[in-house]
Amino acid sequence: MIVVFGSINIDLVTRVERLPGAGETVLGPDYAVHPGGKGANQALAARRAGAAVTLIGAVGRDDFATTALSLLAAEGVELRHVARLPAPTGAAFIAIDPEGANQIIVAAGANAGARPDALRDMAPGPDDILLLQREVPEEACLEAARLMKSAGGRVVLNLAPAGAPAPALLDLLDILVVNEHEARVLAQSLGWPEREPDAIVRRLDAERGIAGIATLGAAGVVAWQGDRRERLAAPAVAVVDTVAAGDSFTGAFAATLAAGKGLPDALRQGLAAGSLACTRSGAQPSIPRSAEIAALAGRSFPQGR
């Protein structure tokens, strides 16, 4: 089982000719409303990749809550531990340019009150994985990690949005997933001089015993675990937008680990899922399913340098 403790949002998405600068207004022709939030996205990605998934989080008592949970419910993610709080459902405001680059502002709403207490009653075991991100309070993530580690399970943190993780949380991690920017923020928070993601995740593995995974956008992924390097270049795809590419990677990656596969297989499945997500618009609507992930993962990926 994968337990995701994380955010649940509604996404308001608009396409623009270019992303605005500071203090600038840029007009978009229209907007779309999609379910989102890093916790919810990764829960859906893991479920679509074939895992049994429980989501712990919080939404408001508003109409947005129904929309935010709709695809999760339809896909069979266990939602009974999602709290309904007297606060607005979290929201993300997303602008996307013609090349697929984006700017995102997230309003926490009910996510600020998310608590992992349900994890205590779920009796997780050594075969279970806890998946965390940084759109819910870090103290709550730390409590969730302690509960999973005390049960013998594994803890995976996706350091998104980028920020310095608490030392106590780092001490509980088995796997840390970062993109290039998040890797540099991590290095700076630890006082490391390294700037290249490859070197940063290598040091994370060597000094902290945490398997480090760095996603590199179109360049693919690099990982270090037990002083062993894994490197894959990304398959060529036509990029529509990159929203939820990282979440799709992380969810499929975790689902592969939960199925008993090793790191190389998990990286390949995650990279296929993240690449496929780039070919469609929206967050959760873009998250691929297991059959198409397997089809792309079955292709020959070039070995990155």
Active-site residues: which are they? 247
Helix (H), strand (E) counts: the chain: 10, 13
Helix (H) or strand (E) holding 197: helix 197-208
DSSP secondary structure of 18-54: S---TT-----S--EEEEE-HHHHHHHHHHHTT--EE
Of 124, 135, 167, 131, nearest to 68 by C-alpha is 135
CA 203, CA 286: separation in Å to the nearest integer? 33
What is the Cα–Cα distance from 48 to 87, expressed in whole angstroms?
Answer: 29
DSSP 4: E
Tell me the C-alpha distance between 256 and 65, whole Å: 29
CA–CA separation, 108 vs 215, rounded Å? 25
C-alpha 126/C-alpha 174 separation (Å) is 13
Spatial distance between the Cα atoms of 299 and 33, rounded to a whole number of angstroms: 34
Q: Which of 30, 24, 27, 25 is nearest to 12 (CA)?
A: 30
Report the relative pairing of strands 154-158 and 175-179 from DSSP bridges. parallel
